[in-house]
């Protein structure tokens, strides 16, 4: 059997030796996958998992849900959800990375009332053996519900009443 053509090994003294040129084809899954030039983009619009069979350095962007505005005259607008960008983040093979997608704040039904904060979004939520540290983007704060009153805290605080 000549294995040289398929494995790049040579027969010498009754034994095959050499190095294999075979490589592991990356298998990555999770989210909605699109292609942008040389990049494969995995977009999560709901919570899920990211799976990989190879060690990778990936670019990660995590965006949290925004807050809603306060209800009533002179109330503030909701704050934007926080954002984290981490280029070249290491992901280990065999790891299932848990993704949590935070929703925007719930509408305020009546007022005057402070707006509701958005939820946090997390890449590497526990348990995630494929990552070393979770990345948590904070949800936006709700807008003030009364003129001159403080707004909610968050990735970006809500607007003050005016």
Strand partners, 15: 12
3-state SS class at 88 = strand
Closest by CA position to 146, among listed 101, 113, 103:
113
Q: What is the pTM of this model?
A: 0.75
Q: Which uninterrupted H or E stretch holds 6?
A: helix 4-7
Per-residue pLDDT of the chain (162 residues; tens, 9 = 90+): 333 344 444 445 544 444 544 455 667 778 888 888 888 888 999 998 888 888 888 889 999 999 998 888 888 888 899 999 999 888 777 767 889 999 999 998 887 888 899 999 999 876 555 556 789 999 999 888 877 777 777 666 666 665
């Amino acid at each position: 059997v000549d294995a040289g053509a398929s494995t790049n090994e040579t027969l010498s003294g009754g034994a095959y030796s050499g190095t294999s040129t075979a490589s592991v084809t990356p298998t990555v899954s999770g989210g909605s996958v699109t292609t942008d030039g040389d990049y494969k983009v995995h977009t999560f619009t709901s919570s899920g998992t990211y799976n990989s069979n190879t060690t990778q350095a990936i670019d990660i962007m995590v965006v949290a849900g925004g807050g809603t505005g306060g209800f009533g005259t002179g109330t503030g607008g909701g704050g934007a959800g926080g954002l984290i960008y981490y280029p070249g983040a290491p992901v280990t093979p065999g790891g299932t990375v848990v993704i949590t997608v935070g929703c925007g704040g719930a509408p305020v039904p009546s007022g005057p009332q402070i707006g509701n904060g958005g939820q946090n979004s997390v890449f590497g939520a526990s348990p995630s053996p494929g990552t070393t540290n979770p990345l948590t983007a904070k949800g936006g704060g709700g807008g003030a519900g009364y003129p001159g009153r403080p707004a909610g805290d968050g990735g970006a605080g809500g607007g003050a009443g005016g």
